[in-house]
Homo-oligomer: A and B are copies of this chain.
Amino acid sequence: MSATPNFTNDSAAVPEMQAGESIASAQPTPAFSPLYQQIKVLILQSLQAGEWKPSAAIPSEMELAARFKVSQGTVRKAIDELAAENLLVRRQGKGTFVATHAERQIQYRFLKLIPDNGDPSSEGPAQRHIIDCKRTRASVEVAKALAVRPGDAVLQVRRVLSFASIPTILEDMWLPAAPFKGLTAERLRDSNGPMYALFETEFGVRMVRAEEKIRAVLPDTEQCELLAADIQTPLLSVERIAYTYNDAPMELRRGLYLTSKHYYRNTLN
Contacts and interface: CB of A to CB of B under 8 A. Distances in A.
A240 B265 CA distance: 10
Contacts of A257: 216
B210 A268 contact: yes
Contact of A211 (B109, B209, B265): B265
A264 B232 contact: no
Given A217-B234, A234-B234, A235-B234, A212 B269 contact: no
Contacts of A11: none
Identify whether the interface residues of A are mostly helix, strand, loop, or mixed.
strand
A97 to B, nearest CB: 17
Contacts of A263: 213-215
A236 interface: yes
A7 interface: no
A166 to B, nearest CB: 16
Looking at A86, A211, A215, which has the most chain B CB atoms within 10 Å of its CB? A215
Contacts of A211: 265-268
User: Interface extent on A, as a size class?
Assistant: 20 to 34
Contacts of A209: 267-269
Looking at A240, A263, A266, A268, which has the most chain B CB atoms within 10 Å of its CB? A268
A15 to B, nearest CB: 24
A259 interface: yes
A203 interface: no
A202 interface: no
Nearest to A73: B73
A132 B212 CA distance: 34
A112 B264 CA distance: 14
Interface string A202-241: 0000000111111111100000000000001011100010
A247 interface: no
A211 B257 CA distance: 19
Contacts of A16: none
Interface of A: 84-86, 109-110, 112, 209-218, 232, 234-236, 240, 257, 259, 263-269
